[in-house]
Amino acid sequence: MELWIRRWDDDRPWTAAIEAAYQSAREAVRLAPNLSDAYVALGWALSFMRQHEAAITEFERATQLNPNFTDYHFAFALLVAGEPAKAIQTLEAHMRLDPFYQARTTAMLGFAYYLLGRYLDALPHLQEAASRAPNHGHSRRYLAATYAQLGQLDRARDEAAEALRIEPWFRINQGIFATICKRPEDAEHFSKGLRKAGFPE
């Protein structure tokens, strides 16, 4: 999956990459039915296949197997399923259980607030994410869109330029979130912020 997301392998088509991830995750569940990570991998793959309810079910199975288990990928599944408020709860729990959480955790937290239209709440989380992981393109895009929605267009354009330096291939109409999210209005909400920030279509 990461091969496609990070564009490490441009020769692998989208559908082939997702199918390979899905089949590998299914095999992991078969071989290790008591391993939480296997269900996380399956839920992650199902999210990209736009099977949102099934994805959430797999993440819930992972938690049932180990109540102390937490993974930020669950929040992503909730975000693309149109449930940003639940994603915030999941991320806050993850941050409590794992004090060494990755910067992309705060990026997702900020993006969840963005999807709720709570841009001022989103801003500090996205600023933290960009500071901790300055070459993470998603964080920069979320931050650019948030600045744009707040009317801080100079900052939005600066973040957009930085995001495009990191991932020059990015186009709004090819964005991962817009491609796989359940609710068209969520895709348009994010795309609108990106347009204001100056990202190419």
Inside any domain, residue 179:
yes
- How confident is the model at residue 10, as a pLDDT? 53
181 touches 82 (CB < 8 A): yes
CA-CA-CA-CA torsion for 49, 50, 56, 59, nearest 10 degrees?
A: 20
DSSP assignments along 9-40, one per residue:
-TTS-HHHHHHHHHHHHHHHHHH-TT-HHHHH
Domain containing residue 155: 109-201
Inside any domain, residue 64:
no
Taking the C-alpha atoms of residue 117 and residue 3, their distance in angstroms, rounded to an integer, is 31
The CATH number of the domain holding residue 158 is 1.25.40.10
Inside any domain, residue 132:
yes
Inside any domain, residue 98:
no
- How confident is the model at residue 61, as a pLDDT? 94
- How confident is the model at residue 20, as a pLDDT? 86
Inside any domain, residue 157:
yes
- Each residue's pLDDT, cut to its tens digit, for the chain (201 residues) gives 455 444 445 544 567 778 888 999 999 999 999 999 999 999 999 999 999 999 999 999 999 998 888 888 999 999 999 999 999 999 999 999 888 999 999 999 999 999 999 999 999 999 999 999 999 999 999 999 999 999 999 999 999 999 999 999 999 988 889 889 999 999 999 999 999 999 999
- How confident is the model at residue 12, as a pLDDT? 47
Inside any domain, residue 61:
no
- How confident is the model at residue 4, as a pLDDT? 47
Selection from 104, 105, 85 nearest residue 96 by Cα: 105
Inside any domain, residue 37:
no
- How confident is the model at residue 51, as a pLDDT? 96
Selection from 147, 179, 152, 199 nearest residue 48 by Cα: 179
Inside any domain, residue 91:
no
Amino acid letter for position 19:
E
Taking the C-alpha atoms of residue 158 and residue 147, their distance in angstroms, rounded to an integer, is 10
Q: How many domains does the chain have?
A: 1
